[in-house]
Amino acid sequence: GENVEQHPSTLSVQEGDSAVIKCTYSDSASNYFPWYKQELGKRPQLIIDIRSNVGEKKDQRIAVTLNKTAKHFSLHITETQPEDSAVYFCAASINFSGGYNKLIFGAGTRLAVHP
């Protein structure tokens, strides 16, 4: 069935270190993979996304890699800062013949960046 697994569930790093979060998905037809950041009590915010026609995308300190063969993708945050502390969710698209999609989310990773 439709499933996205995400790990680790919690991640604690020192300020300045890198953080890596990994996700695997089950639907080989998925072709869109966004990452959301959710701070306590706030809405999920899209931070980066990748489509299946590329293997890597970078945006300043954030990068995402995609391995379609293995059906996994990862979020990399370099030079972490305390304000990076939040819950991060990965998602994979499930596409329908009507030309629309829905996102299936992982369970989230709680990242804590310690000064």
Under the rule (CB under 8 A), what is the footprint of another protein? Answer: 4, 6, 31-32, 34, 36, 42-46, 49, 51, 89, 91, 93, 95-96, 98-108
The closest alpha carbon to 76, from 52, 109, 100, belongs to: 109
Q: Which is nearer to another protein, 26 or 78 (CB)?
A: 26
Taking the complex as a whole, the smallest distance from the CB of residue 89 to another protein amounts, in Å, to 5
- 33 φ, ψ (degrees, to nearest 5): -135, 95
Q: Which is nearer to another protein, 80 or 93 (CB)?
A: 93
What is the DSSP-derived secondary structure letter of residue 9?
S
- The burial class, CB within 10 Å (0-12 / 13-18 / 19+), for 21 is buried
Taking the complex as a whole, the smallest distance from the CB of residue 64 to another protein amounts, in Å, to 14
Which residue's structure tokens are 């945006």? Answer: 59
Q: Which is nearer to another protein, 98 or 115 (CB)?
A: 98
